[in-house]
Structure 1
Amino acid sequence: MRMYEEGGVAGRGLWVVEPARRPRMPDPVRASAVRALLIVAVTLTEATITFFLAVTGSWLAVPMVFMGIAGTVVATWAVLDVLITRQMWNQRYGVVSEPSSAAAPRPRPR
């Protein structure tokens, strides 16, 4: 207990807010990334259930295989949507209108 009294941990708050390492993703990109993550998670869960149904020899394995194929197509589309949305955002809003160090110096006014 003496450690807390000598200014060790007791002086700090419950947590320390640190600045983010990278800037936050734009909202459309984050929305498509969350959507893709959920779709991929559902597809992987569906594939696991399909595997166990096939191992047990259940009649539900056949329709689940078709659902798994459709889920794989949708999950691939969702991941491509993230990449396309990110690229579109960078092309529309990613350009910074500042002269770089390689830019030619401005001519002096006469």
Structure 2
Amino acid sequence: MGTAERRETAGDGTAAREATRQQAAPATRTSDTAGRRADGGPAREAAEVRAAYRPLWVEEPAKRRRLPDPVRTAAVRAVLIIAVTLIQAMVALLCTLAGSWLAFPMVISSVVSTIAATWAVLDVWVTRQVWNQRHGVVSTPSSTARALRRERRQARRAQRAAGRERARIRRRGGAGQLSHP
């Protein structure tokens, strides 16, 4: 798909594919149409054109939201530090096996890099927690928590109703009461 077709898309690429199909369809019709009709006619021709311009992939909306910028930055930094640490550990292992003088400095730098990688991973975790605390997280209570709150509300309402009933009976001077204390 060329630049011109890409600019015409409606977002999902269907307009460009249709325009490309319409341009390509006459080109296939010009070649030996009599022979094609014996094989299956225009239906087969349309199927060939559709198969020729099938998209390589279909973009789908993301299932999860994108990470906030500070958290994503910390995660990228952590991945890079971990990658360097793994490379250093591999070089240290190979230098040790080869008996090179570089083995000892590489082992020391690998230990330091391991500490830095652990720190970087903790940085991602702390940055994520701070972001959630500052900007809030959408919290959906579970059905059990909802049910417990509903039961507590009903119990409080029943207590208030019983208290109002007792106060009403006292105001009436004890009328309606079977026994007096």
TM-score, length-normalised on structure 2? 0.48
Deviations 1:38-61 (A, max 9, x none): 000000000000000000100110
Structural RMSD (CA): 2.8
> Match for residue 61 of structure 2?
19
Whole-angstrom distance in 1 between the partners of 2:53 and 2:93: 54
Shift of 1:13: 4.5
Give the unaligned 5+ runs of structure 2. 1-42, 151-181
Structure 2 SS opposite 1:18 = coil
Structure of higher CA gyration radius: 2
> Match for residue 107 of structure 1?
none
Sequence identity of aligned pairs in percent? 55
Deviations 1:23-47 (A, max 9, x none): 0000000000000000000000000
Shift of 1:15: 3.6
For residues 70-89 of structure 1, the aligned pairs below 5 Å read 70-89=112-131
Task: State the structure with bigger RCO (CA 8 A, min sep 6), 1 or 2.
Answer: 1
Give the unaligned 5+ runs of structure 1. 105-110
Whole-angstrom distance in 2 between the partners of 1:27 and 1:17: 23
> Match for residue 69 of structure 1?
111
1:92 to 118, 134, 139: 134
Q: By percentage of residues, which structure has more helix?
A: 2
